[in-house]
Amino acid sequence: MLLSIDRVLSLLAEGKSIEKIAELAHCEVSDVVEVIEAARAVIARHEKQLSRKKIIIKKSSGEPLEEGEGEDGAPSLESILFEGAELSTIPLNSSLTMYVDGASSGNPGPAGIGIVIFDHENRQVGKISSYVGRRTNNFAEYTALIRALKIAIYFKTRLLKIRTDSELVVRQLNGDYKVKNDQIKKLYDQAAALIKKIDTCKIEHIPRSQNDKADYLAKKAVR
């Protein structure tokens, strides 16, 4: 396998570890690290204002991380946003597309969220699989949406497309359906407020068959 910057970044975006890339390329780990450092230099030199190299790997602990609880008990934005996340190169001030889903085993029961993030060139640059406690399916769907919106704001996203197979969420946010459940209303209000903070935000309903990755990640979080 040709060990190029483009190929290494592509494999990192797919969630491959440095060790796995070295194995696929039949080379040493140090060779992969050298390519990554070269990529960082290129990004810093030519795309300093457009992108940030941010590799975050946080495995879910199996317990929901409540807002305001960092590892030392102090508030930590990153620990909340990126619980259960694997991210690679996320562009700043750019366009992102996120597929989101929520799952509940029991409804209510153990629940999880799944998010898959793509950049403006349709390259997968991140995924999230996170346990969110004992919740209903609709609660999990909204939680996934809110997490996606917060991540978009964190990276100063200008154009955001969110795709979900939850017709209920989309219709409620579009004003077609009323929100009658008090708990869901709080989440709805939070999502609506976050949407206003993004220059352009489109939330689209898609068939479940087109949301299989996010669905898998959401269900994986509750297994």
Q: Any idea what the Cα angle at residue 138 is, between residues 137 and 142, rounded to 5°? A: 120
Q: Which residue has the tokens 């190029």?
A: 4
CA distances to 37, 56, 60, 85, 149 from 203, rounded to whole Å, are 36, 26, 27, 22, 11
Cis preceding-peptide flag for 64 (omega within 30 of 0): no
Parallel, antiparallel, or unpaired for β 159-164 and 200-205?
parallel
Cα 132 from Cα 139, distance rounded (Å): 10
Q: Is the pLDDT of residue 93 over 70?
A: yes
Q: Is the pLDDT of residue 71 over 50?
A: no
| Contact call for residues 90 and 156 (beta carbons, < 8 A) | no
The pLDDT score that the predictor gives to residue 17 is: 84
Q: Is the pLDDT of residue 170 over 70?
A: yes
The pLDDT score that the predictor gives to residue 58 is: 46
Mean pLDDT of the chain: 84
pLDDT digits (tens, 9 = 90+) for 96-151: 999 999 999 998 999 999 999 999 999 999 999 999 999 999 999 999 999 999 99
Q: Is the pLDDT of residue 92 over 50?
A: yes
The pLDDT score that the predictor gives to residue 136 is: 95
Which three-class secondary structure state does DSSP give residue 131?
Answer: strand
pLDDT digits (tens, 9 = 90+) for 44-66: 665 444 444 444 444 444 444 44
The pLDDT score that the predictor gives to residue 5 is: 75
The pLDDT score that the predictor gives to residue 166 is: 96
Residue type, 25: A
Q: What percent of the chain has pLDDT over 90?
A: 57
Parallel, antiparallel, or unpaired for β 51-57 and 85-91?
antiparallel
Parallel, antiparallel, or unpaired for β 200-205 and 85-91?
unpaired
